[in-house]
């Protein structure tokens, strides 16, 4: 049995179910299963462009209950105007809210003096992600926070 997945599919007890790396679904996201060739079911966010044109291989899948303790990687982009201590303030905003950061990189566009920050954070669910986005938007200089789809 594949009981280690946070997602289940009715009638698919002995099929591997994995979370897609392209859109990194987290509990609370609307999701859909994609029946792969030989690798079980890949779970995508319902709005993932990588499955937008699929019709025949999609299957209903559901989040299991009681997933509050697990965390899932979410790639995010933060757009901000440049200023001193920007990266420190963003890192504090994330860590002060008990969210682990797996990666962080910042790139300055010298022409516009805007900064693009890419980060991977570990999140329990969609509500917590929305909370973190609101907190990050409150950091002085930050004007956009979004999820990445690969």
Radius of gyration of the chain (CA): 17
Q: Which pTM was predicted?
A: 0.86
**Residue found under tokens 């209903």:** 60
The contacts of residue 80 (CB under 8 Å, 6+ apart) are 86, 90, 114, 115, 117, 139, 141, 142, 143
Question: pLDDT by residue (tens digit) across 56-88?
Answer: 999 999 999 887 778 999 999 999 999 999 999
């Amino acid at each position: 049995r594949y009981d280690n997945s946070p997602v289940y599919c009715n009638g698919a007890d002995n099929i591997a179910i994995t979370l897609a790396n392209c859109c990194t679904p987290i509990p609370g996201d609307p999701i859909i299963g994609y029946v792969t060739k030989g690798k079980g079911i890949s779970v995508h966010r319902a709005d993932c462009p990588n499955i937008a044109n699929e019709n025949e291989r999609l299957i209903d899948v559901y989040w299991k209950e009681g997933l509050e303790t697990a965390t899932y990687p979410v790639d995010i982009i933060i757009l901000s105007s440049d200023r001193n201590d920007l990266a420190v303030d963003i890192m504090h905003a994330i860590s002060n809210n008990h969210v682990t950061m797996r990666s962080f990189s910042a790139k300055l566009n010298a022409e516009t003096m805007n900064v693009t920050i890419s980060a991977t954070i570990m999140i329990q669910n969609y509500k917590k992600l929305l909370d973190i986005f609101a907190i990050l938007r409150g950091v002085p200089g930050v004007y956009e926070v979004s999820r990445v789809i690969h």
